[in-house]
């Protein structure tokens, strides 16, 4: 199912954070992303700003009018991109983030293909192309809404 557009006035804003971690043999990583839930009309909306948003802070206030691109999921609308129509600020994933990951993974995959480890990275790098194209499609849909 494709993404949908939701427009309206927001209310009941709640901000939080999602922290995710991964543990490896010699260390690990911890990432924290801002999460915001609110209502547009009678629909519950959740929006998570991950690294593809360049860690921007979300600035919303009660009564702002927004345009959102996302998908209905488990009773709520999961936003992928949003424009605050009152301020003009756009929160959308950056395709360049995914293109950077593609180039990095592809180059490392080629270099490590000599020892066969890199052969697994090359297909993963092509998934980043799909993510970059999806981010561009979402940005275009939001721009044209």
Q: CATH fold of 1-92, please?
A: OB fold (Dihydrolipoamide Acetyltransferase, E2P) (2.40.50)
For the chain, the structural domain boundaries read 1-92, 93-145
Alpha-carbon distance 34 to 16, whole Å?
A: 6
Q: How would you write the pLDDT of the chain (145 residues) with one tens digit per residue?
A: 578 999 999 999 998 887 877 777 777 777 777 888 999 988 999 988 776 665 567 778 999 999 999 999 888 999 988 999 999 888 888 888 788 888 888 888 888 887 777 778 888 888 888 888 888 888 888 888 7
pTM of the model: 0.72
Backbone angles phi, psi at 56, to 5 degrees: -75, 150
Radius of gyration over every alpha carbon of the chain, rounded to an integer in angstroms: 18
């Amino acid at each position: 199912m494709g993404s949908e557009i939701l427009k309206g006035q927001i209310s009941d804003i709640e901000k939080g954070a999602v922290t995710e971690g991964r543990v490896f043999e010699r260390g690990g990583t911890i990432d924290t992303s801002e999460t915001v839930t609110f209502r547009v009309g009678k629909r519950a909306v959740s929006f998570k700003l991950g690294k593809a948003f360049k860690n921007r802070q979300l600035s919303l206030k009660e009564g702002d009018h927004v345009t959102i691109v996302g998908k209905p999921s488990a009773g709520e609308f999961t936003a992928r991109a949003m424009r605050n129509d009152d301020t003009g600020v756009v929160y959308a994933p950056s395709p360049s983030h995914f293109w950077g990951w593609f180039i990095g993974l592809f180059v490392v995959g080629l270099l490590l293909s000599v020892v066969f480890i890199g052969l697994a990275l090359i297909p993963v790098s092509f998934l980043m192309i799909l993510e970059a194209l999806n981010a561009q499609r979402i940005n275009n849909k939001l721009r044209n809404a």
